[in-house]
Amino acid sequence: MPLGEPVGQSAATGEAAMDVVSIADELFHSFASDLTRLRLRIQAGATDDIKESAKLVRDLRAATQLVLEERNRVDKLRKDAAGSVGGGALDLDAARDEIGRRLARLRRASGG
């Protein structure tokens, strides 16, 4: 948790993000069901609805993108709230290499 952030703030932010995901999810399902109904009408011979189906497909694609983006944001918020407790393993080889590179730069800079 960042310094100076009130204790309950990240939880409230997470809840707000979950609300946004729920709304985006509802939009997705709404567009998907509209598209399904439209597809059935087109299959039944209502060719006038083809133009509307293209718009619904675009709307469905946008809703899908929104759902995925919001879920990614929620996942990030959860990870941030949980901190790095047991979250990942240290790459000691990479750290050792980085320390070696920095020491070599210091040696070159000091002329030794």
- Assess if residue 62 is contained within a domain: yes
Q: How many CA atoms lie within 13 A of 89 on its CB side?
A: 4
Reported pTM: 0.42
- Assess if residue 2 is contained within a domain: no
pLDDT at 13: 60
- Assess if residue 83 is contained within a domain: yes
Number of domains in the chain: 1
Q: How many CA atoms lie within 13 A of 70 on its CB side?
A: 22
pLDDT < 50 stretches in the chain: 1-9
Q: Rounded to 5, what percent of the chain is helix, strand, coil?
A: 80, 0, 20
pLDDT at 99: 92
Question: What span, in angstroms and rounded, lies between the C-alpha atoms of 22 and 32?
Answer: 15
- Assess if residue 3 is contained within a domain: no
- Assess if residue 45 is contained within a domain: yes
- Assess if residue 66 is contained within a domain: yes
C-alpha 40: how far from chain center: 33
Sequence-distant (≥ 6) Cβ neighbours of residue 35 within 8 angstroms: 53, 56, 57, 60
- Residue 22 structural domain: 9-110
pLDDT tens for each residue of 37-60 = 877 877 787 777 677 777 777 877
